């Protein structure tokens, strides 16, 4: 088993809706929200529109910061991606925040 591999993602995006707050049975606070990222990226010398909506998970102290977020806020999220399952069992990617910065 490999202990450490690179897994870092930085995205700037617009908050889609007010974050959902919860607390685990162990008393750890969690926050979940989605962001929309839109940009133009260069690929093979051509401009390409990039769009992604991704779920963001903030845990502990970071989850408290998200209480001020509302739909339309623009944030820069730095973290790692991990697999989550939707309620119907479909696999989803989630960005686990390690840093959240307000842009607007």
The dihedrals phi and psi of 4, each to the nearest 5 degrees, come to -135, 125
Q: What is the pTM for the complete model shown?
A: 0.88
The sign one gets for the Cα dihedral 35, 38, 41, 43 is positive
Every domain of the chain and the residues it spans: 9-102
Would you state the pLDDT for residue 95?
97
Domain 9-102 - what CATH class? mainly beta
pLDDT in tens, 83-104: 988 788 889 899 999 999 999 7
C-alpha to C-alpha distance for 95 and 81, rounded to whole angstroms: 5
Would you state the pLDDT for residue 1?
64
CB atoms within 10 A of CB 15: 21
Would you state the pLDDT for residue 57?
95
Would you state the pLDDT for residue 98?
95
C-alpha to C-alpha distance for 95 and 45, rounded to whole angstroms: 28
Would you state the pLDDT for residue 53?
96
Would you state the pLDDT for residue 89?
87
Instruction: Kindly give the parts of the chain with pLDDT less than 50.
Output: none
Would you state the pLDDT for residue 61?
87
């Amino acid at each position: 088993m490999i202990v450490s591999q690179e897994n870092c993602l930085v995205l700037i995006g617009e908050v889609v809706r007010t974050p959902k707050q919860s607390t685990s049975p162990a008393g750890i606070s969690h926050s979940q929200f989605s962001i929309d990222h839109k940009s133009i990226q260069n690929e093979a010398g051509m401009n390409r529109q990039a769009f992604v909506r991704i779920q963001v998970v903030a845990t502990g102290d970071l989850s408290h910061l998200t209480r001020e977020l509302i739909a339309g806020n623009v944030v820069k999220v730095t973290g790692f991606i991990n697999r989550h399952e939707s309620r119907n069992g479909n696999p989803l990617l989630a960005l686990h925040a390690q840093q959240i910065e307000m842009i607007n």
